Structure 1
Amino acid sequence: MKNIILLLLVVQFACSSNDENTGPDSSENTDNPVPVQRSFNSYKTGNTVDKETNPVGGICLMGGASENDQAMKWFLERADGGDILVLRASGADGYNNYMYSELGVSVNSVETIVVKSAEASDESYIHEQIKSAEAIWFAGGDQWDYISFWRDTAIASLINDAITTRKIVIGGTSAGMAIQGAYYFTAKNGTITSTTALNDPYDKAMTIDSKSFIKNSYLSDVITDTHYDNPDRKGRHVTFLARILKDTGFRIKGIACDESTAVCIDELGLARIYGDHPSYDDNAYFIQTNPDLQNVLPENCSAGNPLDWNLNGTAIKVYKVVGTSEGTNSFNLNDWETGEGGVWENWSVNKGELSFNQL
């Protein structure tokens, strides 16, 4: 009997010694845990079961600062009660309750995915959420994060497939709007002011690209800009157009929004403008080289020199239209000449100074 008891004690000691030193819950591991590194965070509100609906497409472009509630309702309604995916590279879940329960539009769920690095582009979980979303919204932040993280990746391919095949509605504010055009300011070298751009169109911060990223059919020849009234970005946007024209020969167009203003483009190419006019001077701008001129090249668009793009004060033609809570004012992107509720202006640049002339 003593031998049996001794044997049991030896076995018990051997097992307990093994647990204390090498088990997954050992004191060594508890005192010095190995952190789990993730390339993204996810926050979900609403139903955890996917709901397939029939979105009707469209693009919502917001100029930054506070969201325009009426434009956001337009965006959510076009998801047909489906699942909303918010993609961002900073921040957290600030959109979840706002989209899910504060606007009075019924949706199945709202999920925010915050990516931390380019490695997240290979995450199968994110891929699946894109595949099941009826609407995708890009938050503000730094557009270079979005471009460097997602361009030429499965994420961009899946988003474009969703736009084309499933007719999802897509949109974004600030940096999220800046990436929607086929041409875009990358901000790779930081932002640039209108003054700097106008005085040197080839400044190192003038990083413009057209490498395929987000493919919106009505924005295939457009470069967007945001926060148009804070700070004033009209000058740099015009310089974007001048650079593209000088470097490529293409007469690219521009769409821009003041803060708290939105351009909502339906599946037929009609853009409605939302804002809080007349309480606030909220405007959207549809900018093009003057279609009445055969030669629209800038007189001087060169490195180290102020931009000259005058052409007798008629170089650029702009439809400026105020945004209302009902979105009653509009502009037709099929012909870029039919509008309602706005005014036409000529813009021009003389030795780095931007001028406006209402027609």
Structure 2
Amino acid sequence: MISTKHFHAMIYFFLFITYSCSAGTITPPIPPVQNSYSLGRVGNAEDIQAEVESGLLLMGGSTDVDAAMRWMIERSGGGDFVIIRVSGGDGYNDYLYNMGGLNSVETLRINTAEASNDEKVYETLMNAEALFIAGGDQSQYLRLWEGSKVEEAIQYLIHEKQIPIGGTSAGCAIMGEFVYTGERGSIISQEALQNPFDERLTVRRSSLINHPFLQNTITDQHFSQRGREGRLVGFMARLKSLSENLPLKAIAVDEKTAVAIDKNGLAKVFGQANAFFLMESNADKLPEIVQKQTPLTWNLDQQALKYKTVNAGQNPTLNLKTWDWDWDGFWYVEAGELKSN
């Protein structure tokens, strides 16, 4: 008696021979290439080509700002929206897709060196019409993604394809030419101002994002809520050695708030709180005292840093190509104490 298994095998063989004789050699269908680093894709499984408009979104963390996300979607041309992260889940997929107007949304968890150089990850990024970097640990983003295929794709998306790109929390912290890496643990404002050479104050130049609108600029987030004003000034004091006498700048964003920068460099604030813009007043002058184990003094006639505070209700026109606008006043540091006038 022939078993069922053998019977099915014989039938398959008979069909194979019959089809081969009548139609030539059989080519089995190619299974779809799966991306093992994808947490899922919603919407259309097929990529589309869309007309995009460049833009940059800096979000300060905590609850995402719906209006800012819609701003990115508009500039995506209704294409494919990709989220990248090192940890966490696919919560952005349904959130963004349900806003409408997108072909698809996909989240990639890129948490190893292998993932950072994976061809399918690279392909997914290159096909994106919008890219968003979720919150997490910026030290991991920098360690895993700098110098990889992920960085190569991001640079293509910014400079060649010119899509909107954004990030929240840690994703915002890596946007500038200069970054606080956080690789040796977190540091608070008082610690940074009392010793700007604290081993946890790790700032440097980064190649990962370094958007054209953020040259000589460092970004920060969770700003007012975590009292990071003094910490940011400490970052800038340390970066003086890398700035080549060009004015150092900073953009810091509160939680539940976002700064959107359009293709012309014009900044708009969305959300519930404030965004802060800082710029050196005298780029050719060093802080008076910036030494190890010594409180920072960066006074310069009480005009070390110009500042501007903006919320969604005000929204003056700020041109980040020039940084030329009416400032609110100055921040300066005397013996480790941040002051303003």
| TM-score, normalising length: structure 2 | 0.86
Runs of 4+ aligned structure 1 residues displaced above 6 Å come to none
CA separation of 1:149 and 1:124: change in aligned 2, threshold 3 A: same
Alignment of 1:83-98 (within 5 A): 83-98=80-95
Structure-1 separation of matches of 2:104 and 2:133: 16
- What residue is the counterpart of 1:35 in the other structure? none
1:309 aligns with 2:304: no
1:120 aligns with 2:115: yes
- What residue is the counterpart of 2:257 in the other structure? 261
User: Which residue identity lines up with residue 274 of structure 2 in the other structure?
Assistant: N
Contact 1:296 1:315 in 2 (8 A): no
Structure-2 separation of matches of 1:39 and 1:238: 42
Structure-1 separation of matches of 2:221 and 2:84: 18
Structure-1 separation of matches of 2:191 and 2:244: 23
Look up the SS of the partner of 1:201 in the other structure.
coil
Contact 2:204 2:239 in 1 (8 A): no
1:208 to 203, 206, 226: 203
1:110 aligns with 2:105: yes
2:266 to 265, 270, 278: 270
Structure-2 separation of matches of 1:88 and 1:333: 27
- What residue is the counterpart of 1:334 in the other structure? 321
2:193 to 193, 198, 201: 198
Structure-1 separation of matches of 2:206 and 2:65: 30
Q: CA deviation at 1:246?
A: 4.0
Q: CA deviation at 1:220?
A: 1.4
Q: CA deviation at 1:65?
A: 0.7
- What residue is the counterpart of 1:163 in the other structure? 158
Structure-2 separation of matches of 1:122 and 1:210: 22
Look up the SS of the partner of 1:346 in the other structure.
strand
1:349 to 327, 333, 337: 333
Q: CA deviation at 1:247?
A: 5.3
- What residue is the counterpart of 2:248 in the other structure? 252
Structure-2 separation of matches of 1:296 and 1:344: 21
Q: CA deviation at 1:313?
A: 1.2
Q: CA deviation at 1:212?
A: 1.6
2:214 to 216, 219, 223: 219
Look up the SS of the partner of 2:49 in the other structure.
coil
Structure-1 separation of matches of 2:265 and 2:114: 35
Instruction: Tell me the alpha carbon deviations over residues 18-60 of structure 1, each in whole angstroms, 9 at most, x when there is no partner.
Output: xxxxxxxxxxxxxxxxxxxx97342111110001101101000
- What residue is the counterpart of 1:175 in the other structure? 170
- Structure 1: runs of 5 or more not aligned: 13-37, 277-281
- What residue is the counterpart of 2:61 in the other structure? 64
Look up the SS of the partner of 1:272 in the other structure.
strand
Between 39-48 and 89-98, the greater mean CA deviation after superposition = 39-48
Look up the SS of the partner of 1:70 in the other structure.
helix
- What residue is the counterpart of 2:289 in the other structure? 300
Structure-2 separation of matches of 1:247 and 1:128: 35
1:286 to 277, 289, 305: 277
Contact 1:39 1:116 in 2 (8 A): no
| TM-score, normalising length: structure 1 | 0.82
2:181 to 163, 169, 186: 186
- Give the root-mean-square deviation of aligned CA atoms: 1.9
Contact 1:323 1:329 in 2 (8 A): no
- Structure 2: runs of 5 or more not aligned: 7-34
Instruction: Tell me the alpha carbon deviations over residues 297-347 of structure 1, each in whole angstroms, 9 at most, x when there is no partner.
Output: 1110111111100112111101111124xx8433111211236xxx51210
User: Which residue identity lines up with residue 244 of structure 1 in the other structure?
Assistant: L
Q: From the CA coordinates, give the structure whose radius of gyration is larger.
A: 1
- What residue is the counterpart of 2:17 in the other structure? none
Instruction: Tell me the alpha carbon deviations over residues 261-296 of structure 1, each in whole angstroms, 9 at most, x when there is no partner.
Output: 1110001000111123xxxxx111110111xx4753
1:228 aligns with 2:212: no
Look up the SS of the partner of 2:333 in the other structure.
strand
- What residue is the counterpart of 1:30 in the other structure? none
2:307 to 298, 301, 318: 318
Q: CA deviation at 1:248?
A: 4.8
User: Which residue identity lines up with residue 296 of structure 1 in the other structure?
Assistant: K
1:133 aligns with 2:128: yes
Instruction: Tell me the alpha carbon deviations over residues 250-269 of structure 1, each in whole angstroms, 9 at most, x when there is no partner.
Output: 43210111111111000100
Alignment of 1:11-50 (within 5 A): 40-50=37-47
Structure-2 separation of matches of 1:320 and 1:166: 32
User: Which residue identity lines up with residue 313 of structure 1 in the other structure?
Assistant: Q
Contact 2:237 2:287 in 1 (8 A): yes
